[in-house]
Amino acid sequence: MLANELIERFEQWAPLKLKWANDPTGLQIGDPKQAIHKVLVTLDVRPEVVQEALEIGADMIFAHHPVMFRPANNLDYRDPQKAMYADIAAHHILVYAAHTNLDCAEGGMNDWLASALGLTDVHGLVPGYRAKAVKLTVTVPTDQVEAVQEYLTTVWHGQLNRYAFNSGEQFSVNLLADQVDAAVAGVNQFVVPTSWDYQVEPLLTGGHQYTMGRVGNLTTPMTASDFAQHCKTVFGVDGLRLVTAAPDQVIKRVAVLGGDGGKFYPQALAAGAQAYVTGDVYYHTAHDMLASGLTVVDPGHHIESICKAHLTARFQEWQRANDWDVTFTASKLNTDPFTFI
């Protein structure tokens, strides 16, 4: 199996268009046409993770955090980070990072965090990429009308407008702009490419909004102090930081955003959240959060390690469905740089 097959399948679910500007998501090191047999799934790519990959015989590392956030200005192997790049290249290990596209994907990172917290009636928090709506009109020969109509209604669930004319028929169906290429490719399975035509017209309404972070409700309200303890238990951390002016405040509505999400606290407030769970909260931002009356739980950036089990399970589902000759293993290492004492 080539790495491309895994990457293409993953990007159908969490496409690169979902990533935020200037985020180095995607292929990091290696050739996607490389054959792979074992994939190590990890949160971070650190020297000890690379060693783990070598020990289990992995030829691909699939990470959430990019190994190369910034371009390397040299390859001086006295620098442990640069030496790690050398180890990866020397052993022909391909590295792929799914960062903010996984954060924004539906059923991805922030949905996993919301589910772990037990949130219900979950909605998106911070607007990101918006897929625009279009009207796709296809003109097909009479003898292919039924097959194309069935395809568009069953695969794309379109409400078709159908128009008959002398040499064939026209259908129009509303889709997301990102779906047009796939829909056209599907029609080509039923119709000779040179025997039909299509037009795409932008629509002013409709489309689909992708978001970073989630907001929802606790099934059982709890005080801010109890909620902080709940976060410790859910995420398996030995300590966390609680920002609150009212430890006895009853928390019902909660926002969560994995990683460094302090700057998005105004969106949490706008969504009606009484508590906000995110990592890497800065000192002055915490003061502003306090002044706004928002309770904030900072359990650290490492809670995103929840991705290891979820990604591995999803990859294994794809492996069984597609009969891939590859195995997936979740990293067993804890790459959290902080220890609570």
Q: What is the DSSP string of 201-250?
A: EE-SS--EEEEEEEEEEEEEEEEHHHHHHHHHHHHT-S--EEE-S-TTPE
CATH value at residue 286: 3.40.1390.30
Can you tell me the distance from the alpha carbon of 11 to that of 18, in angstroms, rounded to the nearest whole number?
A: 10
Residue 157's pLDDT is 74
Q: What are 159's two structure tokens? A: 């409400």
φ, ψ of residue 312 to 5 degrees: the values are -60, -45
The H helix count followed by the E strand count for the chain is 11, 15
Both 224 and 122 in one domain: the answer is: yes
Both 120 and 237 in one domain: the answer is: yes
Both 120 and 244 in one domain: the answer is: yes
Both 218 and 119 in one domain: the answer is: yes
Residue 162's pLDDT is 62
Residue ending a domain, choose from 181, 202, 223: 202
78: helix, strand or coil? coil
The parts of the chain modelled with pLDDT lower than 70 are 158-167
Q: What are 28's two structure tokens? A: 């990091």
Residue 155's pLDDT is 85
Q: At what angle do helices 145-155 and 180-187 cross, to 10 degrees?
A: 150
Contacts of 40-43 with C-beta under 8 Å, sequence gap 24+, read 40/329, 40/330, 40/331, 41/307, 41/308, 41/311, 41/312, 41/315, 41/328, 41/329, 41/330, 41/331, 42/308, 42/330, 42/331, 42/333, 42/335, 43/302, 43/304, 43/305, 43/307, 43/308, 43/331, 43/335
> Looking at the domain assignment, is residue 335 inside a domain?
no
CATH value at residue 147: 3.30.70.120
Residue 190's pLDDT is 85
Can you tell me the distance from the alpha carbon of 237 to that of 240, in angstroms, rounded to the nearest whole number?
A: 7
Can you tell me the distance from the alpha carbon of 289 to that of 276, in angstroms, rounded to the nearest whole number?
A: 10
Both 118 and 240 in one domain: the answer is: yes
Residue 20 DSSP code: P
Q: At what angle do helices 109-117 and 306-322 cross, to 10 degrees?
A: 120
Both 81 and 8 in one domain: the answer is: yes
**HSE-CB of 292 using CA atoms within 13 angstroms:** 21
Can you tell me the distance from the alpha carbon of 252 to that of 123, in angstroms, rounded to the nearest whole number?
A: 15
Can you tell me the distance from the alpha carbon of 59 to that of 2, in angstroms, rounded to the nearest whole number?
A: 11
Provide the residue range defining the domain that includes 197.
133-202
Both 69 and 87 in one domain: the answer is: yes
> Nearest to residue 245, comparing CAs of 175, 197, 293?
293
Query: At residue 237, what is the residue type?
Result: V
Across-strand partners of 63? 42, 97
Residue 149's pLDDT is 83
> Looking at the domain assignment, is residue 75 inside a domain?
yes
**pLDDT for 124-139, tens place per residue?**
999 999 999 999 998 8
Residue 53's pLDDT is 98
Dihedral sign from CA coordinates of 10, 14, 16, 19: negative
Residue 151's pLDDT is 86
> Looking at the domain assignment, is residue 338 inside a domain?
no
Both 219 and 322 in one domain: the answer is: no
165: helix, strand or coil? strand
Residue ending a domain, choose from 162, 181, 202: 202
181: helix, strand or coil? helix
Can you tell me the distance from the alpha carbon of 304 to that of 281, in angstroms, rounded to the nearest whole number?
A: 15
pTM, full prediction: 0.90
Both 170 and 220 in one domain: the answer is: no
Both 312 and 172 in one domain: the answer is: no
- Number of folded domains that form the chain: 3
Q: What are 210's two structure tokens? A: 């992708």
Both 123 and 257 in one domain: the answer is: yes
